[in-house]
Amino acid sequence: MSAQTPASESSAPAAAPRPRLLTGDTPTGQLHIGHYVGSVRRRVELQDTHESYILLANMHAFTTRAEDPDGIRRDTIEIVRDYLAMGLDPEKCAIFVQTEVPAISELTFLFSMLLPFNRVMRNPTLKDELQVKGLAETYSFGFPLYAVGQTADILAFRAHSVPVGEDQIPHIELTREVARRFNQLYCGVDPHAEDEEHESLGGVFPVPTADVGSVGRLVGTDGVNKMSKSLGNTIFVTDTPKQIRKKIGGIYTGRQSMTEPGDVGNALFDYVRTFIPDPERVAELERRYAAGDDIGDGHVKVEVAEAIAELLEPMKERRAKYEGNDDAILEILRDGCIRANRLAEETLALAKDAARLKYFDRELRYV
Ligand code: TRP
C-alpha cells in the first residue's frame, strides 16, 4: 500500500486546515505595552499556525463614546499602526473593521434572542466596566448588547480559539453558551455532547476556547490597577526612553532603603518578570531585592525601563513606516474586510439555513 503512494503525496501531505482564531480590540486609543504582553504578542506567534482574523470593534466603541465618531475613526486607524508595529503581518492575518462586516450585526440580533437578559447582565466584565467607567444609571441599551455582539464577532468566524486577556474570559464563556445553544436548538446537537464534538455532530459553530497569554493582566504604572488608557497608567509604543524612565520611576513600592528586604510580589517586580528577558538576571534581582542585598528600587527601575525601551525600539521603527500614511492602512483594512466578509457571509448563510431564516442566496461586495 505505502509503496504505491505517489512521491508527491508522501513528501507533501495535504495540509490539514488550520484552526481559526478571532480576536480584537475596541479602538479607545493607542495600544500600550499591556496590550502587547497581554494579547498582541501571542497573536504574533499564532499568526503562523492559525487562520487569523483580527477585529477592530469600532461599533463597541460607541457604547461609551457615541458623541465622538471622529475620535473612534482616528483610533481605529491608529490601532492598525500599532498592530503592524508590534509584528502582526497583514499577509498572515485579516485585520478588519467590525462595522464593515454586516453578518456580525445580523448574528448579534439573532443571538440576543438566545440569551436571557439576566444572564447577560451577570457578566462580571460588564459589571466591572459599569463601575470603573462610572456608567451607573446612564448606560445605553446598546451597552449590554455589546457583550452579545462580541459573541457574534467570534462565532461569525467559527473561531476555535480566542486569544485574549484575562478580563475577556466572561465574554468567551458567554460565546460558548451561545454556540452550544444554537447548535442544540437548530442543528440537532445533543445537549450532552462534549464541546469538542459540536462541529463533527453537525453544529454550525465550534465551541471556542479562550487562549489567555502568559501575562493575562499587566498592572499599570500606578502599581494598582490594570494598565488602561482611561486610567492614565500606561506606556505606549511611541513613548521615548525618557518617558518610559519617568513612568517606571513613578511606580510606588513603599521601600525605604537599599538594605530593606523587599517584596518581590510588588508591581515593580511584575515588570521585572515581564520585561527583563534573561531569566537568570530576573532570579538574581529577585534574590537580592528580597534579601535587601544592597539594591535600590531606583536601580531596578532603570533596568526595567531599559528593557522596555529595547523591546519598543524595533516597534517604533516599523511604526514610523506608516506614519502619516492613512491610505496604506486603509488598503490593509480593505483587504482584511474582504477576507473577513468571505467567511462571515458563509457562516451567516449556514446559520440562517439552520434557523430556517434563509430564503435567498446573496452576495456582498465593496465597490
Ligand atoms: N471587548 C474586547 C476589548 O475591549 C474587544 C473585542 C471585541 C474582542 N470583540 C471581540 C476581543 C472578539 C476578542 C474577540 O478588549
Distance CA 58, CA 98 (A): 6
pLDDT of 350 > 70? The answer is yes
pLDDT, residue 64, reads: 86
Name which of 267, 221, 266 is nearest 243 in CA terms: 221
Is pLDDT at 243 greater than 50 in this prediction? yes
pLDDT at 134: 80
**Ranked by mean pLDDT, which of 16-25, 205-214, 278-287 comes out on top?**
278-287
Average pLDDT over residues 234-241: 94
Contact between 192 and 11 under an 8 Å Cβ cutoff? The reply is no
Nearest CA to ligand 1 atom 14: 23
Ligand 1 pocket mutation pick from 55, 167, 176, 212 by most atoms within 8 angstroms of CB: 55
- pLDDT of residue 7 exceeding 60, the answer is no
Amino acid 109 reads F
**pLDDT per residue as tens digits for the range 167-204:** 899 999 999 999 999 999 999 999 999 999 999 999 99
With a cut of 80, say whether residue 153 has pLDDT above it. Answer: yes
8 Å CB contact between 319 and 80: no
pLDDT tier at 257 (50, 70, 90 boundaries)? very high
Q: In angstroms, rounded to a whole number, what is the distance separating the alpha carbons of residues 237 and 314? A: 10
Cα distances from 48 to residues 95, 333, 335, in angstroms, run 15, 20, 19
Q: Is the pLDDT of residue 3 over 60?
A: no
- CA distances, 267 to each of 13, 64, 68, 254, 343 (Å): 49, 29, 34, 11, 42
Whether the per-residue pLDDT at 283 is higher than 90: the answer is yes
Q: How confident is the model at residue 2 (pLDDT cuts 50, 70, 90)?
A: very low
DSSP letters for 182-221: HHHHHH---TT--GGGTTTTT-SS---EEEE-S-S-PBPT
pLDDT at 11: 54
Ligand 1 nearest-atom number relative to CA 150:
9
Residue in 32, 97, 153, 169 to alter for ligand 1 test, most ligand atoms within 8 A of Cβ: 153
Smallest Cα–Cα separation from 24: which of 143, 114, 146? 146
Whether residue 6 has pLDDT greater than 70: no
Decide if pLDDT at 288 tops 50: yes
Q: Report whether pLDDT(1) > 50.
A: no
The per-residue pLDDT for range 14-49, each reduced to its tens digit, is 678 899 999 999 998 889 999 898 889 999 999 999
How many Cβ atoms from other residues are within 10 Å of residue 18's Cβ?
Answer: 13
3-state secondary structure 266-278: CHHHHHHHHHCCC
> Taking residues 342-365, what's their average pLDDT?
97
pLDDT of residue 12: 58
* Alpha carbon of 247 to ligand 1 centroid (Å): 27
Mutation choice for ligand 1 from 23, 104, 209, 227, CB with most ligand atoms inside 8 A: 23
| pLDDT at 322 > cutoff 60 | yes
* Residues whose CB is less than 8 angstroms from the CB of residue 269 and which lie 6 or more positions away in sequence, other chains included: 262, 263, 285, 286, 289, 300
Residue 206 CB contacts under 8 Å (≥ 6 apart), including other chains: 158, 159, 160, 179, 198, 199
Q: How high is the mean pLDDT of the chain?
A: 92
pTM (global) more than 0.85 = yes
CA of 102 to the centre of ligand 1 (A): 17
Question: CA 273, CA 264: separation in Å to the nearest integer?
Answer: 10
**What is residue 156's three-state secondary structure?**
coil
Q: Which atom, in ligand 1's list, is nearest to the CA of 25?
A: 5
pLDDT > 90: percent of the chain: 81
Contact 165, 217 (CB under 8 A): yes
pLDDT at res. 241:
96
Q: Which three cell numbers stand for residue 360?
A: 435567498
Percent of the chain with pLDDT strictly greater than 70: 95
Give the amino acid at 156: A
- Provide Rg for the chain, Cα atoms: 23
Contacts of 49 by beta carbon, 8 Å cutoff, 6+ apart: 18, 19
Tell me which of 25, 98, 176 to substitute to probe ligand 1's pocket, judged by most ligand atoms within 8 Å of the beta carbon: 25
CB-based contact 112:155 (threshold 8 Å): no
Residue 193, Ramachandran bin (φ over 0: left; ψ between -120 and 50: alpha; else beta): beta
Measured from CB, residues less than 6 Å from any atom of ligand 1 are: 22-26, 55, 57, 60, 150, 153-154, 162, 164, 168
Give residue 290 CA to ligand 1 midpoint distance, Å.
Answer: 38
| Nearest atom within ligand 1 for CA of residue 60 | 7
Q: How many CB atoms lie within 10 A of CB 194?
A: 10
